[in-house]
């Protein structure tokens, strides 16, 4: 795993982490990974497919409109008392959150860094889906020099970040 301490940021507060996206959107997810545009993100439920999750991240980085990112984390798990995903995913869903700086330690980054590293990011190929798990390969960084795989999980029919 690439150390994301300089790249990623913030974790949702417990209050906002337990929220789930209840918006019902009848528009389908993008058919292929070439649709990495803000137009697609605005028409699609951000949790409808692995592609729409990734496109929501990219759109937030391009526009600075990061409010949608909180919906990409899985719901709070009452049994474990945790959000079932890694620190990198928690960080990417709340860029620039100063109040989470201590909790995130090395994962914290500014909104500017988030925008720099993810605004040009692109999905590479087609996501691999096996049951309720998905892997999405993507490139990111100021010069698209970093390759990574985002792991996702489907919970109650919606896709959420798991690890990367």
Query: Of 147, 15, 143, 148, whose CA–CA distance to 73 is shortest?
Result: 15
User: How sure is the predictor about 64, in pLDDT bands with cuts at 50, 70 and 90?
Assistant: very high
CA torsion sign for 154, 16, 30, 126 is: negative
Q: Are 79 and 87 in contact (CB under 8 A)?
A: no
Instruction: State if pTM tops 0.95.
Output: no
pLDDT computed for residue 42 by the predictor: 52
Q: Which two tokens stand for residue 53?
A: 């999750």
Looking at the predicted structure, is the pLDDT value of residue 125 above 70?
A: yes
Share of the chain above pLDDT 90, in %: 58
User: How sure is the predictor about 60, in pLDDT bands with cuts at 50, 70 and 90?
Assistant: very high
Strands 122-123, 128-130: pairing kind? unpaired
pLDDT computed for residue 61 by the predictor: 97
Looking at the predicted structure, is the pLDDT value of residue 28 above 50?
A: no
Give all domains of the chain, ordered by start, each with its CATH number.
Answer: 14-22+29-163 (3.10.450)
Distance CA(124)–CA(11), nearest Å, equals 26
**Average pLDDT of the segment spanning 15-25:** 37
Looking at the predicted structure, is the pLDDT value of residue 46 above 60?
A: yes
pLDDT computed for residue 43 by the predictor: 62
User: How sure is the predictor about 109, in pLDDT bands with cuts at 50, 70 and 90?
Assistant: confident
């Amino acid at each position: 795993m690439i150390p994301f301490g300089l790249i990623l940021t913030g974790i949702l507060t417990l209050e906002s982490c337990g929220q789930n996206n209840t918006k019902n959107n009848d528009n389908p997810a993008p058919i292929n990974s070439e649709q990495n545009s803000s137009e697609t993100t605005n028409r699609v439920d951000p949790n409808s497919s692995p592609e729409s999750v990734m496109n929501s991240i990219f759109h937030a980085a391009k526009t600075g409109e990061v409010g949608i990112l909180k919906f990409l984390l899985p719901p709070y798990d009452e049994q474990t008392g945790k959000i079932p995903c890694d620190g990198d995913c928690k960080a990417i869903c709340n860029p620039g959150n100063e109040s989470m700086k201590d909790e995130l330690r090395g994962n914290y980054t500014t909104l500017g860094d988030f925008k720099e590293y993810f605004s040009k990011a692109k999905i590479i190929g087609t996501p691999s889906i096996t049951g309720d798990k998905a892997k999405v390969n993507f490139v990111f960084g100021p010069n698209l020099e970093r390759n990574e795989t985002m792991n996702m999980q489907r919970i109650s029919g919606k896709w959420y970040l798991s690890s990367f």
